[in-house]
């Protein structure tokens, strides 16, 4: 299956030079996702700013962020996103046993209490959208207000990413 919207070749449209430069500055390359997003310069610019904040400016520890991203990719059946974040997850210290466990239907053993709470939240937000107080309240023991906002934003943002990728067949 091919991407449903043709990607833009970087450097082919002078009006995109500034956003392409911003993407290159943050990411070092313009990957297929951003090449498709360049079909809408305002969305590409906004996406880059938001996802940079989520990934690179958040106080959320890298290992927890990557657990969230990989789990969302599994739940949304987004293998391109999962594969793109595997090296990042490994670099953040997530071992192969945890990576394998993320692929299961339900969260199994082998996760710390904070990881389990984060993954339970991820599953709930991704599958059901609404989060019951009983699942939210335990997170307060691990995160301040900023951390809670950044955790919720990470789950929400990567649901957006994976759903966008899958709807447009990006990476298929």
pLDDT digits (tens, 9 = 90+) for 59-76: 999 999 999 999 999 999
Q: Is the pTM of this model over 0.85?
A: yes
- Residues 6 or more apart whose Cβ sits within 8 Å of residue 146: 59
* Average pLDDT of the residues in 1-28: 94
> What mean pLDDT comes out for the span 45-51?
95
Nearest to 50 by CA among 26, 30, 74, 15: 26
Torsion of CA 110, 111, 117, 119, to 10 degrees: -90
Q: Structural domain boundaries of the chain? A: 14-56, 62-167
- pLDDT band of 171, cuts 50, 70, 90: confident
- The CATH number fitting domain 62-167, selected from 1.10.1370.30, 3.30.300.30, 1.10.645.10, 1.20.1290.10: 1.20.1290.10
Q: What SS3 string covers 96-110?
A: HHHHHHHCCCCCCCC
Contacts of 53 (CB under 8 A, 6+ apart): none
């Amino acid at each position: 299956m091919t991407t449903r919207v043709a990607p833009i070749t970087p450097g082919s449209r002078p009006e995109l030079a500034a956003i392409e430069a911003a993407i290159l500055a943050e990411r070092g390359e313009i990957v297929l996702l951003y090449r498709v997003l360049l079909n809408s310069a305002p969305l590409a610019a906004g996406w880059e700013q938001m996802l940079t904040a989520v990934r690179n400016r958040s106080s959320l520890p890298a290992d927890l962020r990557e657990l969230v991203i990989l789990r969302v990719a599994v739940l949304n059946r987004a293998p391109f996103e999962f594969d793109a974040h595997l090296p990042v997850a490994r670099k953040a210290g997530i071992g192969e046993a945890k990576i394998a466990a993320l692929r299961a239907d339900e969260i199994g053993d082998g996760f710390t209490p904070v990881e389990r709470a984060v993954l339970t939240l991820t599953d709930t937000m991704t599958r059901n959208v609404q989060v019951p107080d009983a699942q939210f309240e335990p997170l307060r023991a691990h995160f301040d207000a900023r951390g809670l906002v950044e955790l919720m934003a990470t789950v929400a943002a990567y649901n957006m990413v994976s759903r966008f990728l899958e709807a447009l067949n990006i990476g298929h």
